[in-house]
């Protein structure tokens, strides 16, 4: 496409954002239109997302920019533009990317002009970029978590220079908004309320790759939600690594609970979710707002990580086992029907059988609706990586299996508590296995399958929960007689 670019136009490119990117997108679009006209082909793109909801949201922004340039979405990685938006929270996420890059190389050999871009958390690690630069020369563009808004400019630079572009920022205080985006669902959306993390849990790489905590201004968040709602969105998920500390660094500080109160007032919005909550910052004010709200879903993801106070201290989590259990009790007193989910790490350095028993104890006491269980993964550069007493693999595996079994047994009992009731389901899609069924979620996030059709997608409908199958329900549309 480069021969269609009018490079002279770069002389008048604006220097402020987002105008600069919008200008470049327009230039690329014109080149793309000419290319399409002359060749009769229509270049396609694929964004592959690894990792968490933050990455999923970033991918919507990347897709939006590519579509504005004129690329069309495709499901396959045999495409003209492929981006991997990477995660590095655990090592296996990392290894997957290298494996898949090998496959992309073969695709690129048969597809002249194909561009491959890598971005996301993994790219914030200098040793990764070095390895890619020297051994993965078929990669065209490498950028990080702080400058995804610059994708158009990076494509321009790549086409202009003809060589690999690497643009990684260590950190940023910039939040660039108002660029095109492609929302995955029309009826629910993820909304960034803050970026980065200041907690430095000793096992975790996120603060190093996502930078310092920055909150968006409440008026910008509210405007985005209002705009989404006017386009048919009924459910929002407010996103941040630690939403409970939202707003502390703003010029005019605002609490997360105050933000929620404002979001609640938006007409047409039916459901409000948020993640992730750090137990240390979960305030009584927030519990009260949740208890009094009609829209905030009765579900809280409250990562435990470990039930042992000794390990929690080494993890730098800043709460004890008792603090956590007290918090759960307060939540259950205020919102009796609340569903709790969690993250647990098994095999943190120095974890003994007694420590592990403390974790099992919390799982038994809290009775989670579900729990994500992770084997501790050593991340270079984090304090835990250089701690002594790394736990042997076979011991970890044995604990992991025992934990999983306990979590699953409890989850299937807890999940079944609404059997026989009628509850609202937000229908999300046609069921993948049986096209006569639709799939949706209860306000507490449990999945429900029931007979229905595409006309229900995006709607809240009453469903009789006939049978719980472990962690999901089979239901039927409830029609009042
Ligand atoms: N900000 C969120 C979590 C983000 S990472 C929070 O504080 O809860 C998602 C989950 O990955 C974490 O909750 C943790 O359980 C897990 N995780 C993070 N680093 C890990 C590591 N080094 N090894 C194993 N699991 C890890
Ligand atoms: Fe990682 Fe802890 Fe920050 Fe969560 S709060 S992202 S676990 S450092
Ligand atoms: Fe992974 Fe980055 Fe999220 S490391 S979990 S994608 S913040």
What is the per-residue DSSP string for 277-331?
Answer: --GGG--HHHHHHHHH-SSB-SEEE---B-S-HHHHHHTT----HHHHHHHHHHH
Cα Rg of the chain, angstroms? 24
How far away, in angstroms, is 204 Cα from ligand 2 center? 6
Q: Of 247, 319, 253, 329, whose CA–CA distance to 287 is shortest?
A: 329
Structure tokens at 165: 């572009």
Helix (H) or strand (E) holding 273: strand 271-275
pLDDT of residue 475: 98
CA distance linking residue 207 with residue 211, whole number of Å: 5
Question: Nearest 5°: phi and psi at 250?
Answer: -70, 155
Question: How many CB atoms are located within 10 Å of the residue 108 CB?
Answer: 18
| Ligand minimally distant from the alpha carbon of residue 52 | 3
CA distance linking residue 413 with residue 259, whole number of Å: 34
The ligand 3 atom nearest the CA atom of 54: 3
Average pLDDT score over residue span 36-62: 95
Average pLDDT, the chain: 95
Q: Give residue ranges with CB within 6 A of ligand 1.
A: 89-90, 203-204, 206, 241-242, 276, 278, 303, 305, 343, 345, 374, 376-377, 379
CA distance linking residue 375 with residue 303, whole number of Å: 15
What percentage of the chain exceeds 70 in pLDDT? 100
pLDDT for residue 50 is more than 90: yes
The ligand 1 atom nearest the CA atom of 344: 15
How far away, in angstroms, is 291 Cα from ligand 1 center? 27
Average pLDDT score over residue span 70-88: 97
CA distance linking residue 28 with residue 5, whole number of Å: 7
The 10s digit of each residue's pLDDT in 189-222 is: 999 999 999 999 999 999 999 999 999 999 999 9
Phi-psi region of 445 (alpha: psi -120 to 50; beta: other; left: phi over 0): left
177 confidence band (pLDDT: 50, 70, 90)? confident
Q: Of 37, 40, 33, 30, whose CA–CA distance to 9 is shortest?
A: 30
93 confidence band (pLDDT: 50, 70, 90)? confident
How far away, in angstroms, is 426 Cα from ligand 1 center? 28
pLDDT of residue 90: 95
**Cα dist from 42 to 25, 74, 75, 82, 106, whole Å:** 17, 11, 15, 15, 21
pLDDT for residue 116 is more than 90: yes
8 Å CB contact between 426 and 440: yes
Structure tokens at 8: 């002279």
By most ligand atoms within 8 Å of CB, the mutation choice from 94, 206, 301, 381 for ligand 3 is 206
CA distance linking residue 287 with residue 341, whole number of Å: 16
Structure tokens at 247: 């707003």
pLDDT of residue 19: 95
Question: Would you say the CB of residue 278 lies under 6 angstroms from ligand 2?
Answer: yes
What percentage of the chain exceeds 90 in pLDDT? 92
Q: Of 75, 66, 87, whose CA–CA distance to 181 is shortest?
A: 66
How far away, in angstroms, is 357 Cα from ligand 1 center? 20
Secondary structure (3-state) at 56: helix
DSSP-assigned letter for residue 105 = H
Q: Of 43, 109, 52, whose CA–CA distance to 79 is shortest?
A: 43
Partners of 238 in the beta sheet? Answer: 191, 274
Q: Give residue ranges with CB within 6 A of ligand 3.
A: 51-52, 54-55, 87-89, 121, 206, 209-210
Structure tokens at 290: 């949740």
pLDDT of residue 231: 95
**Cα dist from 460 to 40, 266, 439, 443, whole Å:** 43, 17, 12, 10
Residue with tokens 């660094």: 249
Question: Would you say the CB of residue 383 lies under 6 angstroms from ligand 2?
Answer: no
Average pLDDT score over residue span 25-40: 95
The 10s digit of each residue's pLDDT in 388-446 is: 999 999 999 999 999 999 999 999 999 999 999 999 999 999 999 999 999 999 999 99
Partners of 408 in the beta sheet? Answer: none
**Between 172 and 353, whose confidence is greater?**
353
Task: Calculate the CA dihedral of residues 423, 424, 427, 430 and round it to 10 degrees.
Answer: 20
How far away, in angstroms, is 291 Cα from ligand 3 center? 30
How far away, in angstroms, is 204 Cα from ligand 1 center? 6
Q: Of 408, 481, 472, whose CA–CA distance to 437 is shortest?
A: 472
pLDDT for residue 4 is more than 90: no
Average pLDDT score over residue span 62-71: 97
How far away, in angstroms, is 52 Cα from ligand 3 center? 5
Structure tokens at 364: 């038994």
pLDDT for residue 383 is more than 70: yes
For the sheet with 44-49, list strands across it: 72-73, 44-49, 81-86, 115-120, 141-143, 165-167
8 Å CB contact between 226 and 266: yes
pLDDT of residue 6: 78
Secondary structure (3-state) at 157: helix
pLDDT for residue 183 is more than 70: yes
pLDDT of residue 481: 63
Q: Where are the alpha helices (H) located in 372-433, listed in sequence order?
A: 393-415
pTM: 0.94
Secondary structure (3-state) at 34: helix
Count each helix (H run) and each strand (E run) in the chain, helices first: 13, 19
CA distance linking residue 187 with residue 460, whole number of Å: 10
pLDDT for residue 262 is more than 80: yes
Partners of 465 in the beta sheet? Answer: 475
12 confidence band (pLDDT: 50, 70, 90)? confident
Question: Would you say the CB of residue 197 lies under 6 angstroms from ligand 2?
Answer: yes
479 confidence band (pLDDT: 50, 70, 90)? confident
Cis peptide before 18 (omega within 30 of 0): yes
- Residue whose Cα lies nearest atom 1 of ligand 3: it is 87
By most ligand atoms within 8 Å of CB, the mutation choice from 343, 379, 391 for ligand 1 is 343
CA distance linking residue 213 with residue 237, whole number of Å: 19
Q: How many CA atoms lie within 13 A of 34 on its CB side?
A: 11
The ligand 2 atom nearest the CA atom of 317: 2
């Amino acid at each position: 496409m480069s021969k269609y670019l009018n490079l002279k136009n770069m002389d008048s490119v604006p220097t402020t954002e987002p105008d600069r990117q919008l200008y470049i997108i327009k230039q690329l679009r014109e080149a793309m239109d000419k290319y399409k006209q002359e060749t009769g082909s229509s270049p396609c793109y694929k964004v592959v997302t690894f990792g968490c909801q933050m990455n999923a949201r970033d991918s919507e922004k990347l897709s939006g920019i590519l579509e504005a340039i004129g690329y069309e979405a495709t499901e396959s990685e045999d495409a003209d533009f492929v981006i991997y938006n990477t995660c590095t929270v655990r090592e296996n996420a990392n290894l997957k990317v290298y494996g898949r890059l090998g496959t992309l190389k073969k695709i690129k050999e048969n597809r002249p002009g194909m561009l491959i871009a890598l971005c996301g958390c993994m790219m914030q690690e200098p040793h990764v970029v070095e390895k890619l630069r020297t051994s993965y020369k078929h990669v065209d563009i490498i950028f990080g978590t702080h400058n995804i808004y610059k994708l158009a400019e990076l494509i321009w630079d790549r086409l202009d220079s003809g060589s690999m572009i690497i643009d990684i920022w260590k950190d940023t205080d910039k939040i660039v908004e108002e660029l095109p985006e492609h929302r995955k669902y029309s009826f629910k959306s993820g909304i960034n309320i803050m970026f980065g993390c200041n907690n430095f849990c000793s096992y975790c790489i996120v603060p190093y790759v996502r930078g310092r905590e920055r909150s968006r201004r409440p008026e910008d968040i509210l405007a985005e939600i209002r705009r989404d709602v006017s386009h048919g969105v009924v459910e929002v998920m407010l996103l941040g690594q630690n939403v409970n500390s939202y707003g502390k660094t703003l010029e005019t500080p605002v609490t997360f609970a105050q933000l929620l109160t404002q979001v609640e007032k938006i007409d047409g919005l039916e459901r409000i979710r948020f993640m992730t909550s750090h137990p240390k910052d979960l305030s009584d004010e927030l519990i009260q707002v949740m208890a009094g709200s009609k829209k905030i879903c009765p579900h809280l993801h409250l990562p435990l990580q470990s039930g042992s106070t000794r390990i929690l201290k080494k993890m730098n989590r800043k709460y004890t086992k008792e603090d956590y259990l007290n918090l759960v009790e307060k939540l259950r007193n205020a919102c009796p029907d609340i569903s709790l989910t969690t993250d647990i790490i098994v095999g943190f350095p120095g974890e003994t059988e007694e420590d592990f028993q403390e974790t099992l104890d919390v799982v038994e006491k809290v009775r989670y609706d579900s729990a994500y269980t992770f084997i501790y993964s050593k991340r270079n550069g984090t304090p835990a990586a250089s701690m002594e007493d790394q736990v042997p693999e076979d011991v970890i595996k044995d604990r992991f299996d025992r934990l999983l079994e306990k979590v699953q047994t409890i989850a299937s009992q807890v999940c079944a508590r609404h059997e026989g009731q009628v509850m609202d389901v937000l229908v999300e899609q046609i069921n993948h296995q049986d096209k006569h069924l639709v799939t949706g979620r209860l306000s507490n996030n449990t999945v429900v399958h029931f007979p229905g059709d595409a006309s229900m997608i995006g709607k809240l409908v009453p469903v009789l929960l006939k049978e719980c199958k472990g962690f999901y329900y089979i239901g039927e549309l409830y029609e009042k007689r």
